[in-house]
Structure 1
Amino acid sequence: MAKSFMPSISIRKAEYDPERKVLSVWFVASGKQYEFEGVPSETFAAFKAAFAKGRYFNDHIRNNFRYRLVASDSDHE
């Protein structure tokens, strides 16, 4: 089961699937959803606990895990 939270002004939502080790992140400004592969549960826990979630994401997740664009808000209009 995926865990989710509403983290910051730049990240609308994040969900984590611990079995697949996939972190899904939805961004506020672009409306895009990305999946990051191979994310350890410890990294998700630290991301969830971080005070500045956007900064944690940029420092520890972006460019550190393989990712793919899943969807954007415009895909659903």
Structure 2
Amino acid sequence: MPSTVIHSFVHDHDSKKLTITFVSGIKYEYKNIPLRVYQMFKAAGSKGRYFNHYIKGKYKYKRLKT
């Protein structure tokens, strides 16, 4: 099921960075995301709900220029 909040995401396993593009077009890079957290995020039925509970506010991030 497509997310109404998250457009796309990619995880760099080496650097542990998760880049999320929201439907608004804004991109954020989250740091030190464990592979297991990424795998659970990828498998989640609701990406937005998983993001809000397990990623948002728990990892350092920065907004990327689009």
**TM-score scaled to structure 2, two decimals?**
0.93
After superposition, what is the alpha-carbon deviation per residue over 1:23-74, rounded to whole angstroms, capped at 9, x for unaligned? 000000x3100000000000000000010110000000010000000124xx
Q: Aligned-residue CA RMSD in angstroms?
A: 1.0
Structure with a larger share of its residues in strand: 1
Residues in 1 aligned to 2:12 and 2:18: alpha-carbon distance in whole angstroms: 7
User: 5+ residue gaps in structure 2?
Assistant: none
User: 5+ residue gaps in structure 1?
Assistant: 1-6, 73-77
Equivalent pairs counted in the alignment come to 65
**Which contiguous aligned blocks of 4+ residues in structure 1 show a shift greater than 4 angstroms?**
none
Higher RCO (CA < 8 A, seq sep 6+): 2
What's the % identity of the aligned pairs?
A: 38
Residues in 2 aligned to 1:9 and 1:52: alpha-carbon distance in whole angstroms: 9
